[in-house]
Amino acid sequence: MLNFALFGAGRIGKMHAKNIQSMAQANLKYVFDVYAPAAQDVAAANGAQAISTIDEVLNDSEVDAVLIATSTDTHVDLIIQAAKAGKAILCEKPIDLDTEIVNRCLDEIKECQVPIQIGFNRRYDPSHAAAAKAAQDGGLGKLEQVVITSRDPGMAPVEYLKSSGGIFRDMIIHDFDMARFVLNEEIVEVQAIGSALVDEKITEIGDVDSAMLIMKSESGKLVHVNGSRRASYGYDQRVEVFCEGGMAISNNQTATSLERYTKHTTQEKAPLHNFFIDRYEDAYNLQLISFIENVEAGTPVTPSFEDGRRAQMLADAAQKSLETGEKVVLAWS
Amino acid sequence: MLNFALFGAGRIGKMHAKNIQSMAQANLKYVFDVYAPAAQDVAAANGAQAISTIDEVLNDSEVDAVLIATSTDTHVDLIIQAAKAGKAILCEKPIDLDTEIVNRCLDEIKECQVPIQIGFNRRYDPSHAAAAKAAQDGGLGKLEQVVITSRDPGMAPVEYLKSSGGIFRDMIIHDFDMARFVLNEEIVEVQAIGSALVDEKITEIGDVDSAMLIMKSESGKLVHVNGSRRASYGYDQRVEVFCEGGMAISNNQTATSLERYTKHTTQEKAPLHNFFIDRYEDAYNLQLISFIENVEAGTPVTPSFEDGRRAQMLADAAQKSLETGEKVVLAWS
Amino acid sequence: MLNFALFGAGRIGKMHAKNIQSMAQANLKYVFDVYAPAAQDVAAANGAQAISTIDEVLNDSEVDAVLIATSTDTHVDLIIQAAKAGKAILCEKPIDLDTEIVNRCLDEIKECQVPIQIGFNRRYDPSHAAAAKAAQDGGLGKLEQVVITSRDPGMAPVEYLKSSGGIFRDMIIHDFDMARFVLNEEIVEVQAIGSALVDEKITEIGDVDSAMLIMKSESGKLVHVNGSRRASYGYDQRVEVFCEGGMAISNNQTATSLERYTKHTTQEKAPLHNFFIDRYEDAYNLQLISFIENVEAGTPVTPSFEDGRRAQMLADAAQKSLETGEKVVLAWS
Amino acid sequence: MLNFALFGAGRIGKMHAKNIQSMAQANLKYVFDVYAPAAQDVAAANGAQAISTIDEVLNDSEVDAVLIATSTDTHVDLIIQAAKAGKAILCEKPIDLDTEIVNRCLDEIKECQVPIQIGFNRRYDPSHAAAAKAAQDGGLGKLEQVVITSRDPGMAPVEYLKSSGGIFRDMIIHDFDMARFVLNEEIVEVQAIGSALVDEKITEIGDVDSAMLIMKSESGKLVHVNGSRRASYGYDQRVEVFCEGGMAISNNQTATSLERYTKHTTQEKAPLHNFFIDRYEDAYNLQLISFIENVEAGTPVTPSFEDGRRAQMLADAAQKSLETGEKVVLAWS
């Protein structure tokens, strides 16, 4: 049984609280949020205790793990404190928008032997995981190309996006992680293009809402990612692995398996899942189960802090390529 | 908050216990099973109390509802006792294999004003429910034909099937209920054929393992059901509604949305869900939620005892048609 | 090179003329129609000669084969004359609406050693043929159930249907042949139900527009056919074979492989092919090629006159079952 | 009726000869090939005359059009001669591997008022054409992204590829044309990466066998193409258009609509069409019909010589980007 403290009681924090509470092998003890009423609501709904400072958590030896779902700019500070207090950590992505700060965080905690898992939940999606497995288990021969489609259902207000770090660090970072997960090796070249096609006001904040990437891995495998802040037909999430002996596609999913036939169309299905909480419901649960099992067994959690840092560096490279129009080469050594 | 007692701690009882316990609006208080260790295990896993007689339940005024998941031959007795004790009842199908006994049960409890819901969970499957809605909401015009495919993944031993009541009362009864649900009117003619194709030993117990039905409703709509005790590719569960202005199919579902392309085949998907606990996971939960909400609101539960009785009568008619080779006409008055 | 005379220059005759003419191994020499201008048009469009009596054909020793695509009531007379003149015959289905007349035809021609192929073109559809092959080649184990969906896109005027022989002899006769083709054994029991759901005026002519059948083969395999005179979403033509080790479905086809995703629906495809000339374009050509090749090689043509007669007898049985409400048993001796 | 001369009697010439001959509105008069027996075979099979020099064609005033299907290095010379002789021209892609030569050809023929159509047949594929229409007809709102998958079923010997001009000029040139067709505006930025993943010997001839592109159009739309010389599951040809209000995908096609369900996989379909002659059968015919109709009506043929030249320039740009690692900007003015 793992005792959790949850930091952050917003939309995603609420979901995590429910997931923790539904598991026999986990218990939610504390909920913290800078906005106290949010913490109180989530705590009450899940039989936990709302707290107003995180010290209570850090000093309570019964707390085994913290789940960090606060705003991005607080992640690093909370990671450092929790790590120094010896708590296992499951932190939402990204670690921070600034890789320098991520690196400094790493320095600070390098002596702490706590497990830190970054919330790239899509690795735990059964269909994406099956695609990654197909890319690596040899059944289709060696992997040659990866094509990832990543389109959010709707665009947040430009005002909000201002502090998002840009489309690569905020949104496509998931796909950098997915690419690394599927490839099972590092990406060494990144080229990016982008446009303001959904809302041209996005250019005022130096960002784009539509982007395409081509990347090359150490052994020469090719990767494409296309992303958009708005897909009118729902949350479009596909991973295609093209191999020597075949191909596997983790395709989109609909809420029901109903197909409709009418005078004008056939085999119509329902719209895609609206967004991540619906689409990745299983992934969020499986991510948590994996974290719990590894923490209890003392085995490594995954994806790791270093996975989070590397996805971040790929996002930085993409941003640089977008801005300079040039290929960015990464040396990982 | 509804307090439940669970009668029956076998495979399906275990699932119900977990479902009850995962819901904020329900609590599992007692678990009973004739085999005490089973009751103890399920009770322990869900924070409930194992009991050795049902009297404790019937005398405990805190118990609002009983969920009956014991063997079929005990259903009627438990329904009568629970109804007389004023408990709301959710009973697994079928009520009994013998319609006479079902009718006598009805006589016994007709003064009891308790809600009784029969566990035809498939009505709550989101895809089948969407098909039923498509058949009735007018968007596709009036309904004309219903085609139901109902094939279990694997056949139980003939020895076990001996006391099952036959393929119609044991297995296809779900499809009689589905047909009535989708049609929204009564079936008045039934013709059935069957064969022993999976295991010819089934003939020794006077049963068949493969069956086909054609039926007609009051207004002349046509219904087909085909069933088999064994589909090697998994649990095949489809509902097709053919209407004046189009068609809707509640199609099969696979565990992932992965599609594979190889030298010999393309668009391969994973096998179908193995059986009802996987395939109808949502349906079992939604059935329970509906029961809880209706009991708490004092509104009618559905499907009702009468729905259970009528599906039973259709199963009887099918059995009679199989045996006589003749069309059986039902008058519902 | 096979020289053809075409009898009948209506819609389907026109298609056959074009198919014959497009083949390197065939030549269209004559076109006959009771309505001379139709014959002239089709002859002109295909470099053939329009004729006003069939004697020219029967006396022309250069003519190897006749393709009969006239109205049903003339088939038998033309078959007899052509057979006696020693011509190979490809005759559209049905041979005649009256099985007695078919039997008399058989008597008349039994000494003629000419190849006679009946136009059950669907046997030559690559997808249906693949389903039949899957049912028989052992890869899926032994066949247990066949489910055929057969829905025309639109209903002809009731006035026209008056002389059609009824839904079984006119339309579903194709499916009786398909069932025999897929089963590779005889059907021995037939039960049918039907309703007037599309246009209730059909009852005035003693017919139905919607029908369902269940049938059993010699070895106990089960067959279902459902049919409708009108499917608003196009020509619905499916063949499902359920076997010991798996299932194969010859599914519907759309004109393009375009899939559309919108706010309200996903994976929308184009409507189904409108009707037989589009849907079975390949089948009509492959049927003709098979006829030509077998005639030239002196090998048996298929489906044979006897296949045509047996499908007819199944249609009679279905009609009788519909009228009497009883199972009809066939003895094939 | 358009009289054709065919130059080139190889695999694709043979197909064109058959297509011309099957059309009522066209006639194949001459067949020329540097290898006389090939010309004779194709001429004989299609009722045409084999010739040993093209002068006979150019001097025969009955010849309306020439179809050029010879080796690429002869295209320009044949175009110039035929244009000067006043013949309408349908020329296989590419015009030439060297854009300088294409430009000189343009200079030479600029006074000739003959229609010249380049054989980018995929524009005529009904599914790709439907995708292009969906991108432009406004039903899905304005176009934002195009994703093209272009994978050949198998790789030609490296020895043969030596003179192919490289993957972009030889193979992906079709996709540059498709991108321009779907976009309906020019591409102004090209970035390419590539690897030798199928056969590393390809590097010895300075080529790659796997490539990815990202491109931007004048108005900022984003385009991705991925290509491979070898897809083990068949000829993978997809066009996806992502728009403001939805998405359309021209998906792959299989030879039959059969779906198989087995113990290990479900919804298996047949392999994809093997290669272009099967996959684009309709497209080749529709391309020819369009050419004939436009030539006869005196309306512009499409895609034009200029379309051919521009696809060529995009291939050059891609090649340059691959070699330099830099973005190539095109000014079309």
Name the nearest CA neighbour of A241 among A254, A232, A233, A251. Answer: A251
Of residues C245, C257, C262, nearest to D252 (C-beta): C257
Of residues C224, C228, C245, nearest to B144 (C-beta): C228
- Closest-CA residue of chain B to D251: B267
Low-confidence residues of chain A: pLDDT under 50: none
Quote the CA–CA distance of D248 and D140 in Å, as a whole number.
9
Name the average pLDDT for chain D: 96
Q: What angle do CA B64, B69, B74 make, to 5 degrees?
A: 100
User: CB-based burial of residue B324 (10 Å sphere; 0-12 exposed, 13-18 middle, 19+ buried)?
Assistant: exposed
Is D225 within 8 Å of D174 (Cβ atoms)?
A: no
Q: Is A234 on the interface with C (CB under 8 A)?
A: yes
| Cβ-Cβ contacts under 8 Å, D263 against chain B | 232-233, 271
Residue A297 burial (CB count, 10 A): 8
Q: Which subunits count as partners of chain C given 3+ CB pairs below 8 Å?
A: A, B, D
Which helix (H) or strand (E) segment holds residue A238: the answer is strand A236-243
B228 to C147: CB separation less than 8 angstroms, yes or no: no
List the single best residue of C253, C266, C273, C274 to mutate versus A (max A Cβ within 10 A). Answer: C266
List the single best residue of A151, A258, A265 to mutate versus C (max C Cβ within 10 A). Answer: A265
Of residues D131, D245, D262, nearest to C258 (C-beta): D131
Q: How many CA atoms lie within 13 A of A290 on its CB side?
A: 23
CATH architecture of C122-278+304-329: 2-Layer Sandwich (3.30)
B231 to C247: CB separation less than 8 angstroms, yes or no: yes
Count of residues for chain B?
A: 333
User: CB-based burial of residue A110 (10 Å sphere; 0-12 exposed, 13-18 middle, 19+ buried)?
Assistant: exposed
Q: Is A163 on the interface with D (CB under 8 A)?
A: no
Q: What pLDDT is recorded for position B23?
A: 87
Name the nearest CA neighbour of B308 among B60, B8, B88, B92. Answer: B92
Residue C138 burial (CB count, 10 A): 12
> What is the topology classification, in CATH, of domain D122-279+292-329?
Dihydrodipicolinate Reductase; domain 2 (3.30.360)
Q: What pLDDT is recorded for position C71?
A: 94
Q: pLDDT tens-digit profile of B54-112? A: 999 999 999 999 999 999 999 999 999 999 999 999 999 999 999 999 999 999 999 99
Q: What pLDDT is recorded for position C22?
A: 85
List the single best residue of B124, B258, B266 to mutate versus A (max A Cβ within 10 A). Answer: B258
Quote the CA–CA distance of C17 and C41 in Å, as a whole number.
11
> What is the topology classification, in CATH, of domain B122-329?
Dihydrodipicolinate Reductase; domain 2 (3.30.360)
Which helix (H) or strand (E) segment holds residue A215: the answer is strand A210-217
Of residues A195, A220, A224, nearest to D220 (C-beta): A195
Q: Which subunits count as partners of chain A given 3+ CB pairs below 8 Å?
A: B, C, D
| Cβ-Cβ contacts under 8 Å, B152 against chain C | none
Q: How far is CA B255 from CA A125, A126, B15, B273, B274, in A?
A: 11, 8, 19, 6, 9
E-state strands within chain C = 2-7, 26-32, 49-51, 65-68, 88-91, 116-118, 143-151, 187-195, 210-217, 222-228, 236-243, 246-250, 258-261, 328-329
Q: Is C259 on the interface with D (CB under 8 A)?
A: yes
Using the 8-state DSSP alphabet, how is residue A256 labeled?
A: S
Q: pLDDT in tens for each of the 333 residues of chain C?
A: 899 999 999 999 999 999 998 888 999 999 999 999 999 999 999 999 999 999 999 999 999 999 999 999 999 999 999 999 999 999 999 999 999 999 999 999 999 999 999 999 999 999 999 999 999 999 999 999 999 999 999 999 999 899 899 999 999 999 999 999 999 999 999 999 999 999 999 999 999 999 999 999 999 999 999 999 999 999 999 999 999 999 999 999 999 999 999 999 999 998 898 888 899 999 999 999 999 999 999 999 999 999 999 999 999 999 999 999 999 999 997
What is the DSSP annotation of A54-88?
Answer: THHHHH-TT--EEEE-S-GGGHHHHHHHHHHTT-E
| Cβ-Cβ contacts under 8 Å, B264 against chain D | 271
CA distance between the termini of chain A? 39
Bridge partner list, B241: B146, B248
Q: pLDDT tens-digit profile of D27-41? A: 999 999 999 999 999
Count of residues for chain D?
A: 333
What is the 3 state secondary structure string of A268-299?
Answer: EECCECCCHHHHCHHHHHHHHHHHHHHHHHCC
C145 to B228: CB separation less than 8 angstroms, yes or no: yes
Quote the CA–CA distance of A126 and B154 in Å, as a whole number.
25
| Cβ-Cβ contacts under 8 Å, D270 against chain B | 265-266
Q: Is B270 on the interface with D (CB under 8 A)?
A: yes
Bridge partner list, B3: B27
A258 to B140: CB separation less than 8 angstroms, yes or no: no
CB < 8 Å from B in window 172-201 of C = 189, 191-198
Query: Token pair of B201, please?
Result: 């030993």
Asked whether the predicted pLDDT for residue D286 surpasses 90, the reply is yes
Q: Which subunits count as partners of chain D given 3+ CB pairs below 8 Å?
A: A, B, C
Q: Is A210 on the interface with D (CB under 8 A)?
A: yes
- Closest-CA residue of chain C to D21: C22
> What is the topology classification, in CATH, of domain D2-114?
Rossmann fold (3.40.50)
- Name the residue with tokens 């996006």: A161
**ipTM greater than 0.90:** yes
Q: What pLDDT is recorded for position B76?
A: 97
How near does any CA of chain C get to the CA of D21, in Å?
9
Name the nearest CA neighbour of D31 among D15, D13, D19. Answer: D13
D272 to B265: CB separation less than 8 angstroms, yes or no: no
Asked whether the predicted pLDDT for residue B333 surpasses 80, the reply is no
| Cβ-Cβ contacts under 8 Å, C254 against chain A | 266-267
CA distance between the termini of chain B? 39
Query: Token pair of A198, please?
Result: 């959904």
User: Where in chain C are the domains?
Assistant: 2-114, 122-278+304-329
Contacting residues for B99 by C-beta, under 8 A, at least 6 apart: B309, B312, B313, B316
Of residues A232, A265, A271, nearest to C269 (C-beta): A265
Quote the CA–CA distance of C107 and A16 in Å, as a whole number.
81
Q: Is A17 on the interface with B (CB under 8 A)?
A: no
Name the nearest CA neighbour of B160 among B71, B246, B224. Answer: B71
E-state strands within chain B = 2-7, 26-32, 49-51, 65-68, 88-91, 116-118, 143-151, 187-195, 210-217, 222-228, 236-243, 246-250, 258-261, 328-329
Q: Give the mean pLDDT of D132-136.
A: 97
Which helix (H) or strand (E) segment holds residue A116: the answer is strand A116-118
CA distance between the termini of chain D? 39
Residue D293 burial (CB count, 10 A): 13
